[in-house]
Amino acid sequence: MTQLSLKNLQQQMMNYLLEDDMTIAGEITQQGNITNQVRLHIYQNAYNQRLKEVIDNDHQMLGLYLGDNLFDQMVTGYIKAFPSGCRSLRHYADQLPEFLKVHPPFNDYPIISELAQFERLLLTAFDAADTTRLTINDLQQMPDLDWPELVLRFHPSVQIAYFSWNSVESWQALKAEKSPDEAANKENIWLVWRNRQRLTEFRSLDSEELSLINMVLKGENFSSLCDFLLSRAGDNDVSHLALSYLSTWIEQGIIRA
């Protein structure tokens, strides 16, 4: 009898785990009182359970928002739609916001995808690269002539999130073990980052600060930031305002050295 090649055997096993294709059962030796179906099911159960635990751990508030039944429906659907191609389980649920955006019944409630997106951003901030952060002392030692040309760079954990629903407020309510408000349509923008104590933080951004942050991201210098503020503030003291933004950013640890 020709032996099943290692490659074919592995493909059959994966077909069982992913598609419930029982072909592999014919390649398993019958031993003791346990059927081959039971033996294989131990692996399939472990596969599904492991992926479910990952989604559960990564998306705890989303789980609370959905409730057990919908959460299980989401997990089953996601595991089916996205067999893991990643080495690390840390990134297994990266496509979950996308999945929720397009798959019924979740796509009827866009806040659900936004909640998932917010939780993924928190994870990204949690283990983004480390780097030295700019301090007030660094700025104090900078020659006056260098100020106009100063180009700021954000800490690697910094992310901007654009939401169209009250997703973050709902997340906060669930975290505080309160019922979230009804889903409400509202444009809102959030800054997410990891602070100096390695804790993940987030706060909302108004349009002025968002514009400044986008200018920094484009590599524009401090002088350009001041010009932008001047165009909005008229005769007010924009250098004071610019320094106020800068010192807040430094204090919050979002600027790298």
Partner 1 sequence: MAHKEHPEIRGHMPSFSSNKSTPPEHFLGFGLGLRTDHFQEVLDTRPKLDWFEVVSENFMVDGGKPKHYLHAVREHYPMVMHGVSLSIGSTDPLNMDYLRQLKSLTNELQPEWLSDHLCWTGSDHTNSHDLLPLPYNEEALNHVVDRIKKVQDFLGRQILLENVSSYVTYKNSEMSEWQFFNEIAKAADCHILLDINNIYVSARNHGFKAEDYLQGIDTDRVRQFHLAGHSDYGDYVIDTHDHPVADPVWDLYHQALKRFGWISTMIERDDNIPALDELLAEVKKARLIANDVLVKA
Binding site for partner 1 (CB under 8 A): 3-7, 9-11, 13-14, 17-18, 27-29, 31-34, 36, 38-40, 42-43, 46-47, 50-51, 83-90, 92, 126-131, 156-157, 194, 198
Name the minimum Å distance from CB 80 to partner 1.
Answer: 13
Name the minimum Å distance from CB 201 to partner 1.
Answer: 13
Neighbours of 172 (CB within 10 A): 14
Nearer to partner 1, 2 or 185 (CB): 2
Name the minimum Å distance from CB 200 to partner 1.
Answer: 9
Of 191, 127, 204, whose CA–CA distance to 159 is shortest?
191
Nearer to partner 1, 24 or 115 (CB): 24
Nearer to partner 1, 31 or 141 (CB): 31
CB-based contacts of 63, cutoff 8 Å, min separation 6: 56, 71
36-58 helix and 60-81 helix, angle to the nearest 10 degrees:
140
Nearer to partner 1, 136 or 199 (CB): 199
Name the minimum Å distance from CB 83 to partner 1.
Answer: 5
Burial 214-225 (b: 16+ CB within 10 A, else e): ebbeeebbbebb
Nearer to partner 1, 13 or 173 (CB): 13
**Beta strand ranges found along 79-196 (DSSP E):** 159-165, 185-194
Name the minimum Å distance from CB 170 to partner 1.
Answer: 25
| Side chain identity at residue 206, one-letter code | D
First to last CA, the chain: 68
